[in-house]
Chains A and B, each alone.
Chain A
Amino acid sequence: MAAADDLKFQEFDDAANLLAANPDATTISIDEPVEIPKNQHSRLQEPGREEDDELLGTDDSDKTELLAGQKKSAPFWTFEYYQTFFDVDTYQVLDRIKGSVFPVPGKNFVRLYIRSNPDLYGPFWICATLVFTIAVSGNLSNFFIHLGKPTYHYVPEFRKVSIAATTIYAYAWLVPLALWGFLMWRNSKVMNIVCYSFLEIVCVYGYSLFIYIPTAILWIIPQKVVRWVLVVFSLCLSGSVLVMTFWPAVRDDNRRIALATVGTILLLHALLAVGCLAYFFDAPELDFPAPIIPAHNATTVTTKSH
């Protein structure tokens, strides 16, 4: 070829034509980068682990890793750093809430909904709503239970709001902290597949508490059976979200430690629900006789003293 022609832009023929011209030339085929890891994963995995991929969402892991690298680049003393934790739109928050209330069996909440964009909006405001819902519902339920009794004088019980706030915020922040520390420690001993960041754990816990808000409102109904059915039901739903999130993280560990971890998570969750029910909602008295007592008779209806 002439020198001038070398400088001109040259169209390369189709690979097949070039290969036909020179059959022994080495060829390289470059596919889209996303497909190659997928193929590798599907070739290397054992059949029993297919469910793990769904649980872990490894089919999206490349996207999530790409996304993770672009976030949180501001130093922690600037306002912009904290703005990255509130980078959610309305529909995203609603989706996450829906995901926590209707857990799809086999889908990991963190991988499916959080996807490296943990937010602090959901946990904070769900906890705030839960605090006030429990306090208000407890107050209303006590009012209706004791309505009509002559010795009962309604009190707003405002001090219980601060107790509720302390309990729920401590649960929503300290338990994830402890769990995160525990997972970090185990991760250093046993190479786990998945490692959650502290904010993702806070996110899961925060959104899993959402189911308790309608539960607390329904606890106003003064029937013991109804209340306990509600406790079990909401515990199943939010507990399953937590279990499906954390089971892949501890499964590779020693069997007993894994079971103990998941068991502790569920136990603490149950303790929160039962504790709130016992403390804020008075027990409904069963079939009390109508408290019409003549004035000269000194006896009064016995009320549950607290």
Chain B
Amino acid sequence: FPGLADVSISQDIPVEGEITVPVGSHSPDEDYSTLDEPVRDTIMRDLKAVGKKFVHVMYPRKSSALLRDWDLWGPLVLCVSLALMLQGGSADSKDDGGPQFAEVFVIIWFGAVVITLNSKLLGGTISFFQSLCVLGYCVLPLTVAMLVCRLVLLAGSGTISFIIRLIVVVAMFGWSTLASTAFLADSQPPNRKALVVYPIFLFYFVISWMILTFTPQ
């Protein structure tokens, strides 16, 4: 390096300057710190993200928004509301009644974790939380079915109401399974797709069964 051969720093010139670097300069999308924004903005941003994902579930298209920006708020809200709506039925004897709140919670979350592990062990390329996110969000049609069932049961619990509930639950079960399969199937190796889809089918079947057999006191 010929140019540097004669560079030297004299001992009596003090070296000084600023150590701090201005905050906003190193990443272009952090123009402002989210710490200073009003709480309303933060909440609305998350709510909008959750709402957008709900729309994606109800009209499943091949979009990667659900997978890329995963969040678990939606699944939590859905799971809690479903578990709450499943309460208040046949609780005259605790033994033979419907599922308790904790049982519904455990089935949904533990079931989703097991299915995710299953798909990863079979060689899937999807990440753990993305898969949890998809499976949780696809419970939305079944939550809607539960809401409809409770409304129908308010009107009466005869054979006609049972037939209506059966049709609604079966339709929503199919919708949930198809929606989650549409999101998850691409990340699986092609000769193992059926092995991955079957546990998802079983998972939503169990949830549908819990919804269908809900009988008010």
Query: A residues touching B (Cβ–Cβ < 8 Å)?
Result: 79, 82-83, 85-86, 88-91, 93, 121, 125, 128-129, 132, 136, 139, 153-159, 162
Contacts and interface: CB of A to CB of B under 8 A. Distances in A.
Given A90-B193, A121-B118, A156 B198 contact: no
Contact of A156 (B121, B122, B214): B214
B206 A132 contact: yes
A193 B95 CA distance: 50
A132 B214 CA distance: 17
Nearest to B97: A155
14 contacts: A82-B121, A83-B121, A86-B118, A86-B121, A90-B195, A93-B195, A128-B199, A132-B209, A153-B215, A155-B98, A156-B89, A156-B90, A158-B100, A159-B95
B99 A121 contact: no
B117 to A, nearest CB: 9
Contacts of A162: 103
A132 to B, nearest CB: 6
Nearest to A82: B121
B123 interface: yes
Interface in B69-125: 89-90, 92-93, 95-100, 103, 118, 120-123
B1 to A, nearest CB: 47
Among the interface residues B90, B95, B96, B97, which one has the most CB atoms of the partner chain A within 10 A?
B96
B215 A83 contact: no
B35 interface: no
Among the interface residues B122, B193, B195, B206, which one has the most CB atoms of the partner chain A within 10 A?
B195
A162 B100 CA distance: 12
Nearest to B217: A153
Nearest to A85: B121
B123 A83 contact: yes
Interface string B175-217: 0000000000000000111110011001001100110011100
Contacts of B198: 125
Contact of B215 (A82, A91, A156): A156
A44 to B, nearest CB: 41
Nearest to B213: A156
A155 B194 contact: no
A93 B193 CA distance: 12
B97 A88 contact: no
Given A86-B118, A89-B192, A154-B213, 7 more contacts: A86-B122, A90-B195, A93-B195, A128-B199, A154-B90, A156-B214, A157-B96
Interface residues of B, number: 31
Contacts of B95: 159
A155 B93 contact: yes
Contacts of A93: 195
Contact of A155 (B191, B206, B215): B215
A129 B202 contact: yes
A82 B120 CA distance: 10
Contacts of A85: 121
Contacts of A91: 191
A129 B89 CA distance: 26
A158 B206 CA distance: 11
Contact of B213 (A88, A128, A132, A139): A139
A48 B76 CA distance: 65
Given A83-B121, A83-B123, A158 B98 contact: yes
Given A90-B193, A121-B122, A136 B209 contact: yes
Contacts of B123: 83, 86
Given A121-B122, A125-B198, A132-B206, A156 B97 contact: yes
Contact of B202 (A88, A128, A153, A159): A128
A158 B97 contact: yes
What 4 A-B pairs come out closest when comparing CB atoms? A86-B121, A156-B213, A155-B96, A89-B191
A154 B92 CA distance: 11
A244 B89 CA distance: 49
B192 A158 contact: no
Interface in B112-167: 118, 120-123
A121 B195 contact: yes
B111 to A, nearest CB: 9
Nearest to A124: B118
Contacts of A129: 202
B199 A125 contact: yes
Nearest to A158: B99
B149 to A, nearest CB: 13
Nearest to A86: B121
A132 B208 CA distance: 12
